[in-house]
A and B are shown apart, each in its own frame.
Chain A
């Protein structure tokens, strides 16, 4: 089951295991002084709590891979504690807690297809599409004719989240938002 990765396999995106917890490699740097020994430094993000650690290795070391798999699932509803996802193949449902989601709950709209990551058979995290469309439920009116994009104001969207938007955005507008950064990208004309 468990794959082992040697230092020459190290790369961004690997899922590995330390102290019985799954981590994602977010940065991998090879360092070698001209006349010294090679060192690999990995920045790894804990897939359970989001904590980022730095780990140092020497050439020839190895780490175990984490037993992770990703499944396409549909987000169906939340009870403000857990967010529920359904496997469209067999209608099985899985719950992911708000804590596990971190900020991602802000971008989850019912019926949206997401990637749910399982570790040792249990769902641990969710990856929504990179871009989602969210409708503005409330924002302060902007100054008429002001189309500047460098001045922002908060807008409350249908998921309950607040997104920073340009001043010209109105209630009822649909926004395209980048789920990786939380940034407003553009207004969508439906």
Chain B
């Protein structure tokens, strides 16, 4: 484990705040990235680079891409483009074109996300594995994480716990069957005091609230833990479980209470995907947000045929945070958002 910067070795990139990453953390970061690339090379997964800009997006109720303008000439006329919230759409187009197993180290952008674990521009390692289901991909994520963070697991292994079992074990309620009243009661019992506007009928808001403020902090404190099979209402781009369509084959990894990855056994059905994007846009409008342009080229690729595959996005900055015991993402970034 690296220690915090000593004054001689620290490069203070900002004199005003002194908050930027120290040289030794940037060295550690480079070493972790090199090891991750070796891991993918060893498994025959090809590195790709796709554009950060796009004309349409993977529409998500709670993800807001920054918008920018491109002008082909100096006359100011031009079009609106989005900065990607993840490289998912572009990478799926490569998969549909027959690329096989691919990975990417990409920057992603999300508006309004700033905090101890969030920078509006951050680094994702995203990869896709044709032929693997979400459980097989979880095992691959576990192997990569064990390689990069050997000290986070007592015994070198990882656990898997279903989303439903997590809520049953910890709160004694079934997140799929129970009503919003029970979720609200659980929040009250746990001492969650809600101020301001809250849609008491929004099940997913309750589930997110309970998970992120009460359940998450204890997840993965002894060894990494994968939470899998999320409610179908939070499926995003995951396929629904064949045996239980109220659940989706989606997973996340938690270490030391930090959410590290989000993965799917990918939805292949173009019509169903379009329906989910449109529903997300309706929810956005209900939330008072702008609807977003659908990524039609992604939908075309799904129509043309995406191979059976699973994919995952791993938050690389947070991996570096865990490797050096940083409290804030700012400690592992060369230049945090306020310094750009």
* Contact A31 B115, beta carbon cutoff 8 Å: yes
Query: Closest approach, in angstroms, between the C-beta of A58 and any C-beta of chain B?
Result: 6
Q: Is the CB of B212 within 8 A of A32?
A: yes
Cβ contacts A24-38/B at 8 Å (1 or 0 each): 000001111111111
Q: Given the known inter-chain contacts A30-B116, A30-B118, A59-B112, please indicate yes or no for A36 contacting B212, CB distance below 8 A.
A: yes
A41 within 8 A of B: yes
Q: Return the chain A residue nearest B252 by Cβ.
A: A34
Q: State which of B112, B192, B288 has its C-beta within 8 Å of the C-beta of A38.
A: B112
Q: Is A61 among interface residues, defined by CB-CB distance under 8 A? A: yes
Given contacts A29-B116, A36-B208, A39-B208, contact A58 B197 (CB under 8 A): yes
Q: Is B338 an interface residue (CB 8 A)?
A: no
Known contacts A31-B115, A36-B234, A38-B62; is-contact A61 B192 (Cβ 8 Å): no
Chain A residues lying within 8 Å of B211, measured Cβ to Cβ, are: 33, 36
> Are A33 and B195 in touch, CB under 8 angstroms?
no
Instruction: Mark contacts of B249-283 with chain A using CB atoms, 8 A cut-off: 1 yes-contact digit, 0 otherwise.
Output: 00010000001001000000000000000000000
Chain A interface helix/strand/loop/mixed = strand
Interface magnitude class on chain B? 35 or more
Q: Is B114 an interface residue (CB 8 A)?
A: yes
Contact A54 B262 (CB under 8 A): no
Distance in Å: Cβ of B330 to nearest Cβ of chain A: 13
Chain B residue with minimal CB distance to A41?
B213
Question: B208-221: contact bitstring with A at CB < 8 Å (1 yes, 0 no)?
Answer: 11011100100000
Restricting to A61-84, which residues have a CB under 8 Å from any CB of B? Answer: 61-63
Q: Which of B192, B196, B204, B313 meets A36, CB within 8 Å?
A: B204
- Determine whether A171 belongs to the interface, using a CB cutoff of 8 Å to chain B: no
**Distance from B193 Cβ to chain A, minimum over Cβ atoms (Å):** 5
For residue A55, CB closer than 8 A to chain B, the reply is yes
Q: Is the CB of A39 within 8 A of B262?
A: no
Chain A's interface size range is 20 to 34
Q: CA A37 – CA B211 in complex, angstroms? A: 11
Q: Are A56 and B62 in contact (CB under 8 A)?
A: no
Q: Which residue of the partner chain A has the closest CB to B234? A: A35
Is A185 close to B, CB under 8 A? no
When chains A and B are docked, how far (Å) is the Cα of A18 from the Cα of B196? 11
A112 close to chain B: CB less than 8 A: no
Mark A107-124 against chain B: 1 for CB-CB distance below 8 A, else 0.
000000000000000000
Cα distance A155–B61 when bound, in Å? 61
**Besides the contacts A35-B262, A37-B62, A57-B195, what 10 more A-B pairs have beta carbons closer than 8 Å?**
A30-B113, A30-B118, A35-B60, A35-B62, A35-B63, A39-B208, A59-B112, A60-B197, A60-B288, A63-B196
Lowest 4 A-B CB distances belong to which pairs? A30-B115, A61-B196, A36-B208, A34-B262
Q: What are 23 contact pairs spanning A and B, CB under 8 A?
A: A33-B212, A34-B252, A34-B259, A34-B262, A35-B60, A36-B204, A36-B212, A37-B208, A38-B62, A39-B208, A55-B195, A56-B192, A56-B194, A56-B195, A57-B196, A58-B196, A58-B197, A59-B112, A60-B197, A60-B288, A61-B195, A61-B196, A63-B196
